[in-house]
Structure 1
Amino acid sequence: MNRDTQTAPAVDLASPAFRESSPPTVIAAPRFALVAGEASGDQLGAALIQALRARFPGATFAGVGGDAMRRAGLDAWHDASELAVMGLTEVLAHLPRLLKLRARLQRRVLAWQPDVFIGIDAPDFNLGLERRLRRHGLRTVHYVSPSIWAWRRGRAAKIGHSADRVLCLFPMEPPIYAAYGVDARFVGHPMADEMPLQPDRQAARRRLGLSRQGPVLAVLPGSRRGEIGRLGAVFLEAAARVAAEVPGLQVVVPAANPGCREMLEALAAASPLRGDALRILDGQARDAMVAADVVLIASGTATLEGLLAKRPMVVGYRVSRTTAAIVRALGLLKVDLYSLPNVLAGERLVPELVQEACTPERLSAAVLDYLRDPALAARLEPRFTEIHRSLRCDASTRAADVIETLIARR
């Protein structure tokens, strides 16, 4: 295929100096294929496209993405929503369609012959596609490592068969890959770049219509219907117990989407919390966390957002009894710390109440500890700020740096 290139001035190609130190030939108008499968991946992909275009103004981008990636210049062959399937039952129901979609994408990517293929998160879909493309000689990148630090570390070796480079959001991930001979690079976390080091609590309260001084508890039982089914009633009962002890408490519960809101409203109707004491929000999870005195939150990526908001939090989580029994029996879980603030700190900064310990009594007691002892909450802020700084690396630029090395040829 004929491509424009930028090359160094002509020299004696036979000279030892050229063979040892000649600069790489870089494609001036490279092609990048990208596949992102949900809203967070769409945002990552859009920022990465902008960083790559800054290096390669003539670059073209195609693949799977959402509105943000389209605005950044992606020629979307499919929409990201076609990949956004969560939960075992849902995945099984959509599996034939997803397999056909992956096969079509493989053929189209191979026909288009991009200089690099970039799979953004969505590991169940992207890693298999990356592996097949790599076998056909394409360079591949996987952006956002699965949580190998938490369970099934041996997956790192399999991921290495799929990706020439793995771009990691957390610093503890590359050493795990290195043990399996996989080239993984820490690039930082885009959320840490995006969020200010000193969040404006009063501005967040104004946006939500909350009082300036009254105590606020943000309750986030998850962004998926399955999580809300397991945690919603437990979290709301815990919030009711806290409200009974703290006069004037305002409880805010962000709903990730209309389906989640419907579930939360049904749970709220059965809760002792009524009227102005409880508000269900349409989205606005970040504002809710920044505005809160304490956050009661499901374990997951949202706990990182709570850390970056510099708010004290109580983390709870439950999986089904069957899943918990399987994980324990097979020894799949390799960590003693579950929530990202504790994992990143390497110590138990915030309470973690998991499975049998995730009860309204214990959750509410941990929340009340923070509300009754402001010094306990204040001690967290400098630690959270330290972690925030360590993740604030201009992730999109660093990711583009790594990808640029893949398309440089001697």
Structure 2
Amino acid sequence: MRVYLIAGELSGDLLGAGLMRALKARHPEAEFRGIGGPRMIAEGLESLYPLETLSVMGLVEVLRHLPGLVKARRHLRHDALAWRPDVMVGIDAPDFNLGLERQLREAGVPTVHYVSPSVWAWRQGRIKGIARAVDAMLTFLPFEASFYRQHRVPVAFVGHPLADELPLVNDRAAARAALELPTETPVLAILPGSRGNEIRFMGPTFLAAAERLLATVDGLELVIPAASPERRRELEALLAAHPGLQARTRLLDGRSREAMVASDAVLLTSGTAALEAMLCHRPMVVAYRMAPTTHWLARRLVRTTWISLPNLIARETLVPELIQEAATPTAIGEHLRPWLCEPASRAALEQRFATLHAGLQRGASERAAEAVLAVAERRPLPEAPAALPGETS
């Protein structure tokens, strides 16, 4: 069996390596070729380009690299057709992969795309191009699969690898001991983001909210993971303007997952961190600000009731989302206080998150391999449950 794989960044390399292991368990003789990183290469991929070839962010950077990307895609198309794979799998990187998938599918190669772009939220017209490009879309989340079914695109919901990685039972006391945090007092984890502009937009607001909470929540302790040395320096500068917070704050180098498990509640910006907090079973408040022009455009382009993954997965408002002008220190504090001071409310949401976690913990790599083999062998895709435990329609 021959599988052509194209991954565009480190997260895709991780997904690709898991998929390759699951495919080899079924077909030990399988051959792999395309683009991948060290994990995929270790599993036996013959990588024709460095993984970083497709890791281009930002409009200016993409334009500067566009000639090289076009040349690489042309070369990969010719190489794949000469190699004659049984199936081609594009892992994320939709701007690059969907075009290659369409070209190969038109030439008779079955194609799969692993990780749905956010077509359900914005630029929904892309669904027509996706339908022409793929024989199957593999999604992490059930609401994504429902969207593709509505548009008659073959889809398999495979679950989320992060849900497989994180345990269904976690130990708050052990996490606190590892971080040298008090056992009994309330703990708030603050994750202001991994990018400099997120720290700039949200850092002062998050710290002002924490300062208000310190005045009303007895014994409150704060833990703030810094995503990088640069983010740590930025956070240290912000904390210097809040001397009352410094004695009650533990600033960490990374270790965001431990910080969330150790906490009673989490304050964060939207993104994968919200999903990770849900999979750590911790109540949260999602707050986000962006440049006014960006927000103006987003309000006109994005078509979704919610922006945070816990709410999107549950299809209801489980956690507060405070966006732009609504993301004030006062509002953030008012929404966090119940999670910090009302154990019964906190426990109820933690149980709901554990139920949603169980529904996403499905063995994503194995299910993805089943779907890829079905496409390669031109069989129907494996069926998935209509809804997850705890998910509302």
Task: State the TM-score, normalized to the length of structure 1.
Answer: 0.85
Alignment counterpart, residue 307 of structure 1, candidates 265, 278, 290: 278
1:281 to 1:396, Cα distance in 2 relative to 1, 3 A: same
Cα deviation, residue 32, structure 1? 1.4
In structure 2, what residue type is equivalent to 1:166?
A: M
Does 1:404 pair with 2:370?
no
In structure 1, what residue type is equivalent to 2:17?
A: A
Q: Which moved more, 1:346-355 or 1:143-152?
A: 143-152
Does 1:119 pair with 2:90?
yes
Does 1:177 pair with 2:148?
yes
Cα deviation, residue 340, structure 1? 1.2
In structure 1, what residue type is equivalent to 2:201?
A: R
* 1:228-307 correspondence to structure 2 within 5 Å: 228-272=199-243, 274-307=245-278
In structure 2, what residue type is equivalent to 1:352?
A: E
CA distance in 1, matches of 2:244, 2:108: 59
1:370 to 1:259, Cα distance in 2 relative to 1, 3 A: same
1:225 to 1:98, Cα distance in 2 relative to 1, 3 A: farther
Cα deviation, residue 345, structure 1? 1.5
Alignment counterpart, residue 352 of structure 1, candidates 321, 343, 348: 321
1:276 to 1:104, Cα distance in 2 relative to 1, 3 A: farther
CA distance in 1, matches of 2:57, 2:203: 18
1:89 to 1:334, Cα distance in 2 relative to 1, 3 A: same
* 1:63-102 correspondence to structure 2 within 5 Å: 63-102=34-73
* 1:15-94 correspondence to structure 2 within 5 Å: 30-94=1-65
Residue in structure 2 matched with residue 148 of structure 1 by the alignment: 119
Does 1:377 pair with 2:382?
no
CA distance in 1, matches of 2:43, 2:208: 44
* 1:174-253 correspondence to structure 2 within 5 Å: 174-253=145-224
Cα deviation, residue 384, structure 1? 0.9
CA distance in 2, matches of 1:108, 1:258: 41
Q: Which moved more, 1:203-212 or 1:381-390?
A: 203-212
* RMSD between superposed Cα atoms in Å: 2.3
Cα deviation, residue 89, structure 1? 4.4
Instruction: Check conservation: 1:157, 1:181, Cα contact below 8 A.
Output: no
CA distance in 1, matches of 2:310, 2:278: 6
Q: Which moved more, 1:40-49 or 1:243-252?
A: 243-252
Gap runs ≥5 in structure 2: 380-393
Q: Which moved more, 1:246-255 or 1:160-169?
A: 246-255
* 1:5-20 correspondence to structure 2 within 5 Å: none
Instruction: Check conservation: 1:157, 1:182, Cα contact below 8 A.
Output: no
Task: State the TM-score, normalized to the length of structure 2.
Answer: 0.88
Q: Deviations over 1:300-344 (max 9, x none)?
A: 12211111101010011223211221233x4x2222222111121
Alignment counterpart, residue 166 of structure 1, candidates 137, 146, 151: 137
Q: Which moved more, 1:244-253 or 1:139-148?
A: 244-253
Cα deviation, residue 409, structure 1? 6.0
Residue in structure 2 matched with residue 365 of structure 1 by the alignment: 334
Residue in structure 2 matched with residue 26 of structure 1 by the alignment: none
| CA radius of gyration, larger in | 1
CA distance in 2, matches of 1:157, 1:372: 49
Instruction: Check conservation: 1:120, 1:143, Cα contact below 8 A.
Output: yes
Cα deviation, residue 195, structure 1? 1.1
- Identity score, percent: 52
Q: Which moved more, 1:370-379 or 1:78-87?
A: 78-87
Gap runs ≥5 in structure 1: 1-29
SS of the counterpart of 2:142? coil
Instruction: Check conservation: 1:42, 1:65, Cα contact below 8 A.
Output: yes
Instruction: Check conservation: 1:35, 1:118, Cα contact below 8 A.
Output: yes
Q: Deviations over 1:98-121 (max 9, x none)?
A: 344333433433333322111111
1:308 to 1:136, Cα distance in 2 relative to 1, 3 A: same
Q: Which moved more, 1:303-312 or 1:255-264?
A: 255-264
